Structure 1
Amino acid sequence: MNLVRLKCALEPRQLVDRLRYQPEIVEIQLFENDMYRPERIIRVIRMLKKRGIRVYLHHPMRWRGRYLDILSEDPKRRDFYDWSCSILAELCKKEQVKCVVHAHYANTECSRPGFFWLGKKLRKRIERIREEAGDWFLWENTTKGLFSGENPSFIQELVKPLELPLCLDISHSFISLEGDNEKLQQRLAEASPFIQYYHVVDSMGAGHDSLPLGKGKVEWAGVLPFLEGRDYIFEIGLENVLDCTEMVQSAKYLNQLRAATLTSFHGS
């Protein structure tokens, strides 16, 4: 089957499961402890590349159990953010792979009420990280706060001035826009010049649910044109991380939708 694009951690059993499906792309979710063993990350990247698989990395989400935020009020958490970004920037340049990075997550400092005043400060911090990482980092949107669709100036004041390369998570955008498919397509069109990579995942639009395609309320026929010619993975929330069947089923869903769209086009 075409366009099998999957996600996993460095854990060997997860890798074995994903490789059964001969994926075109694998995104590796990194964790705090992985950062202290960069040689292990490099070994896995090289193993996947030898199999002809394109590799993306994902910056750790947490430090000591707490979600990261580029503007964290905790100096140690902020130091880990900067240090881990520095390690990954060097690694990405060396291995010629890109890494997905969150400026912040929902319910961290950048998503508190009245967050808009932090916009200039956030932009300066991103600029500082980019001085080292360049365009090897792809910045991912979240569901709430400054770096989300909840912020109406997200593209115009943060992304566009920096010409910031994005990883756009479809479900995150859908949730931040309160499940509005028309607004989702408008946001995709607005952000399209900056999007290099997508997380393709469904949602009911009310909260972070990470559903397989077709199980939520995203209208995928309207999203499909934005995905053509772009890299992406199916970032489905798995009950069992050793079984990526729902990711593969989502790839099948999208392939069937693409085939139906082509049939309809040629038949018209």
Structure 2
Amino acid sequence: MVVAVVFVLIVIGSVVFHFLSPWWWTPIASNWGYIDNTILITFWITGAVFAAVVLFAAYCLWKFRHREGHKADYEPENKRLENWLMGITAVGVAAMLAPGLFVWNQFINVPAEATEAEVLGQQWQWAFRLPGADGKLGLSDTKLVAADNPYGIHPDDPNGRDDVLIEADYLHLPIDKPVKVLLRSTDVLHDFYVAEFRAKMDIIPGSVTYFWFTPTRTGQFEVLCAELCGTGHPYMRGGVVVDTQEDYDAWLAGQSTYAQLYAPEVLETAQLQ
């Protein structure tokens, strides 16, 4: 009986803690409220199953407790009960998976009007690249990464000359404009994560992964690496600043391009031509 009471108290405590907990999500700053809703659906379904299973265990401990003169019945199979359990389980799993598949479909289909921003992950810092006036990012390759070309931009690609490079600084983005984030790594597996945006993606060496979001709140947000990437992993932090369009334009005008920083001779040749 004591164990049954403990089980009931565990369920009550878990429900109360869920509603009164001081630890909850940071205020959302992007369009991905769908992800929050999907997580809430999962919480409700798994929470209901947890409560039902624990309370049923408590009921069994009370109902079938040892009593003089009572003998347990042996029933190895119950097809009706098994069918009910399989059906309820299938409905529950489908209810958790369906919203996630719906959100994933949105997550991988980037709006046509989205701009691009590249994130370069390396042990243990972040770097960013934005397209220049031509609106196109230049070709890049990790094989070209060097001290005088840390982004691995192809020097012969004219689209890369005006690419805006942000090193050891914050990435700025305009509010209410969708952005496709292209993710590259120069060494090991990383993961670009901003809690307020609710969106993240692994950065896999040798490939370019992506996700998209629309910033919906101005402010400064911390970038974390959500994948263990070595001894300096806890210190791999950066920042994203969401600006009004006017502030973003002013910031962008003060940034340097690839040609200005690492290929001045290319820039001079282009100007002479």
Q: TM-score range by the shorter chain?
A: under 0.3
Structure-1-length-normalised TM-score = 0.24
Instruction: Looking at secondary structure, tell me which structure has more helix per residue.
Output: 1
Structure-2-length-normalised TM-score = 0.24
Instruction: Looking at secondary structure, tell me which structure has more strand per residue.
Output: 2
